[in-house]
Amino acid sequence: MKSAHLSSDHLSAAHAIPPLSALLAFERAATHLSFRRAAQELAITPSAVSHQIRGLEERFGVRLFARAGRSVRLTPDGERYLRAAAAGLSLLDEAGRDLHRRGRGGPRELRVSSLPFFTSAVLIPALATFARRHPDLTLHIEATHQYADFDSAGVDVAIRYGRERAAGLRLEPLANVYSQPVCAPRLARAGLKTPADLSRHVLIHVAQQPQSWPAWLKEMNLPSLEPRGHLWFDAVPAALDAAEQGLGVALAMHPLIRGRSGFGTRLVMPFEGRGQRTSTLYFVCRPEQAADRRISAFRRWLIEAVRQASGG
């Protein structure tokens, strides 16, 4: 490789520390062993990633990647530099986030992205306990079905379904849940005894989960069941409120539905309708922030809140 690099004895700090854009490109490409995936995460082109890495190699006079066709692997020098670069970027990330938190009113804040139903059934009933234990920590909770944006939205932790869009994040299983029909007691008493009886009732849907009822009915071997009608809402809590008012039958997240106020009295399970399909809820954060005291405190409380909501 042609280069005009200086010896380590004469390497200035300005030359030894490359531009941040080059470090980010190298760290992402080295982590994924893919220039394309690095480009996607950094919102630049693969050729721009390649250009940044080539600049690093020319700056230091070593090869960081061994290229073979479309695949790449790290050289021994690349592996050593990745360890140092990742550690340095992690320190910079935490320092920047600390400054950002201070700039918006103090370091004792935590921004949480949570599913609407999880927020209403698990978080809100247990928030008083959290406030007593951590009176100096302010929570900012966004109840949303959208995936949390850890890069631009300032989210610290999230509760979400599934492992999609998990690159660069730490996911810890919180609970396995399944869909269970629920309704007002008067509907249950009026002859709603089996899944087939749903043909005489209105099914309440959630726009963000349009396949929930079809999937559940298929599991019950009733894929062609035609209900009396349909009612749609944009979020699970509203769908459950409608079911509680006797407007139809909704699907709830069992066993977490047990944590909803009024479950067992104003909202009941008319029959046991558990299918084979389960979904996993995850606690999500950045791996470099997992040991953050704010996040550790929230995680400990959250695990207890999930257990209480599940009836444990």
Q: How far is CA 295 from CA 99, 121, 196, 276, 302, in A?
A: 17, 21, 45, 33, 10
pLDDT, tens digit, 9 for 90 and up, residues 225-260: 999 999 999 989 999 999 999 999 999 999 999 989
Reading the block at residue 16, the tokens are: 């030894």
Kind and range of the H or E element at 98? helix 76-103
- Residue 5's pLDDT is what? 44
What is the predicted pLDDT for the residue at 215?
Answer: 93
Q: What is the pLDDT of residue 173?
A: 94
Q: Of 312, 197, 178, nearest to 252 (Cα)? A: 178
Question: How many other CB atoms are there within 10 angstroms of residue 4's CB atom?
Answer: 7
**pLDDT given at position 138:** 93
- For residues 171 and 163, the answer to whether their CB atoms sit within 8 Å is yes
Dihedral angle sign, alpha carbons of residues 155, 233, 276, 184: positive
Task: Show Cβ contacts of residue 204 under 8 Å, excluding neighbours closer than 6 positions.
Answer: 230, 231, 232, 233, 239, 242, 243, 247, 248, 249, 250, 251
DSSP string, 213-262: HHHHHHHTT-TT---SEEEEESSHHHHHHHHHTTS-BEEEEETGGGGSTT
- Rounded to 10 deg, the angle between the 76-103 and 20-32 helix axes is 120
The Cα 140–Cα 155 span in angstroms is 9
Residues of the chain with pLDDT under 70: 1-14, 98-107, 152, 275, 312
Question: How many residues are present in the chain?
Answer: 312
DSSP β-bridge partners for residue 68: 71
Q: Spell out the domains of the chain, with CATH numbers in brackets.
A: 20-103 (1.10.10.10), 108-175+280-310 (3.40.190.10), 177-278 (3.40.190.10)
In the chain, the amino acid numbered 97 is R
Q: Does residue 255 have a cis bond before it (omega within 30 degrees)?
A: yes
**In which element (H, E) is residue 25 found?**
helix 20-32
